[in-house]
């Protein structure tokens, strides 16, 4: 049974459903406002998923449901993806239905149906996510890490797009035993979060280049934050070719399917349009097949001695390194008995890592997020 509180977390789908209700009833928006006792600007904000105050949303959404004499459950119907945030993203990025339809090749009517929570295949979601510069998980609200947009952070309306972030700048990590900083693009919320948890032994840092970092601060020599508008630091090895978070995260979500299926691509997974775009990206960045598998599955362990190992992880095999990531990200610590997690590679080799001896572990964010979210669904 759903409540008004639940609808606040489904306000993008609620907005699309409300539009459908208005279109199906012989009533104008002006008359609806008068009969439901809400102002026209309030109705417009409900339809744009712009009301971000929960109390205000519940108050006005309740008046709408009372007018139509429906419960929250009945109003939302059989929505399969009722937590999707498509309308919220469109509003925040000032994208019209017509522009989105033209960009992703999906009709306006079909987009409205998807927004309202109707069943949708992966290819459609990926096309919409690509045009919105985000991930499918960000689109559906099923992300574990902060949702990112592959645009500068200054272009992100933080009031409407709460929970999303664009490029703020970079974090530079100098692992113990190494003489060069490693640079990663991050959003503003991640930068603030890292500042607030530096006293922890272990911290987790999601980045915009499909990396999530598991850091042992005891074995980290230095951390640098660099706003994207700043000049390169004179004391550090800044790399002008470092990622700017410019690749939409849905590309990383789709990359392994692109590699595995090739010319035999099931169109319910990747559309012909997205496949061509992926081909262009792969060609532009000169990614080989090994590069693609590295981006999608490789884990790099940086030991405090300076030694590094690279593991092409088998995320289909039971392992608990992702459990350590989950607990540290959510709760800030892990139990002592969990400080020796294990992982498996595609050759079947099982490896146990002593987290007390590492400086940092780089993991592929999209794959790790899938494993974490699937574990929550079980």
The pLDDT-based confidence of 12 (bands split at 50, 70, 90) is confident
Across 46-50, 310-314, 331-335, least confident range: 331-335
Q: Is the pLDDT of residue 318 over 70?
A: no
State mean pLDDT over 327-331.
92
* pLDDT tens, position by position, 215-240: 999 999 999 999 998 888 888 899 88
The pLDDT-based confidence of 78 (bands split at 50, 70, 90) is low
Spatial neighbors of 10 by CB under 8 A, at least 6 apart, are 76, 79, 82, 83, 117
What's the whole-model pTM score? Answer: 0.85
Share of the chain above pLDDT 90, in %: 64
pLDDT of the residue at 334: 84
Domain ranges for the chain: 4-120, 166-246+292-377
* Angstrom distance (rounded) from CA 303 to CA 300: 10
pLDDT of the residue at 25: 86
* pLDDT tens, position by position, 127-136: 999 999 999 9
What is the rounded average pLDDT for all residues in the chain? Answer: 91
Q: Is the pLDDT of residue 1 over 80?
A: no
pLDDT of the residue at 79: 64
* Angstrom distance (rounded) from CA 83 to CA 9: 7
State mean pLDDT over 255-267.
92
Query: Which of 23-32, 76-85, 198-207, 328-337: highest mean pLDDT?
Result: 198-207
Q: Is the pLDDT of residue 59 over 70?
A: yes
* pLDDT tens, position by position, 169-193: 999 999 999 999 999 999 999 999 9
């Amino acid at each position: 049974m759903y409540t008004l509180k639940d609808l606040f977390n489904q306000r993008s789908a609620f907005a699309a459903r409300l539009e459908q209700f208005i279109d199906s009833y012989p009533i104008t928006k002006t008359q609806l406002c008068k009969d439901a006792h809400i102002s026209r600007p309030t109705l417009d904000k409900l339809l744009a998923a712009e009301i971000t105050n929960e109390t205000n949303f519940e108050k006005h959404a309740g008046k709408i449901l009372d007018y139509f004499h429906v419960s929250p459950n009945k109003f939302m119907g059989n929505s399969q993806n009722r937590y999707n945030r498509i309308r919220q993203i469109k509003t925040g990025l000032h994208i019209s239905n017509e522009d989105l339809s033209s960009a992703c090749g999906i009709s306006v009517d079909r987009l409205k149906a998807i927004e309202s929570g109707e069943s949708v295949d992966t290819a459609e979601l990926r096309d919409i996510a690509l045009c919105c510069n985000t991930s499918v998980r960000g689109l559906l609200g099923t992300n574990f890490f902060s949702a990112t947009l592959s645009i500068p952070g200054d272009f992100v309306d933080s009031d409407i797009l709460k929970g999303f972030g664009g490029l703020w700048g970079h974090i530079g990590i100098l692992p113990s035993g190494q003489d060069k900083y490693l640079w990663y693009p991050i959003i503003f919320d991640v930068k603030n979060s890292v500042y607030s948890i530096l006293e922890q032994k272990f911290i987790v840092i999601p980045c915009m280049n499909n990396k999530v970092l598991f850091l042992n601060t005891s074995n980290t020599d230095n951390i640098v934050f660099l706003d994207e508008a700043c000049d390169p630091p004179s004391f550090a090895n800044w790399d002008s070719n470092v990622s700017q978070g410019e690749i939409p995260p849905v590309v990383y979500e789709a990359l392994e399917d692109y590699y595995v299926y090739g010319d035999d691509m099931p169109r319910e997974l990747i559309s012909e349009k997205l496949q061509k775009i992926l081909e262009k990206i792969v060609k532009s960045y000169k990614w080989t097949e090994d590069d693609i598998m590295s981006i999608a599955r490789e884990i790099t362990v940086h030991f405090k001695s300076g030694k590094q190992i690279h593991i092409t992880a088998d995320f289909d095999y039971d392992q608990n390194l992702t459990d350590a990531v989950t607990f540290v990200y959510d709760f800030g610590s892990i139990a002592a008995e969990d400080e020796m997690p294990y992982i498996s590679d595609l050759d079947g080799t099982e490896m146990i890592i002593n987290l007390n001896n590492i400086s940092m572990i780089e993991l592929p964010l999209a794959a790790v997020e899938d494993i974490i979210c699937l574990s929550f669904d079980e």
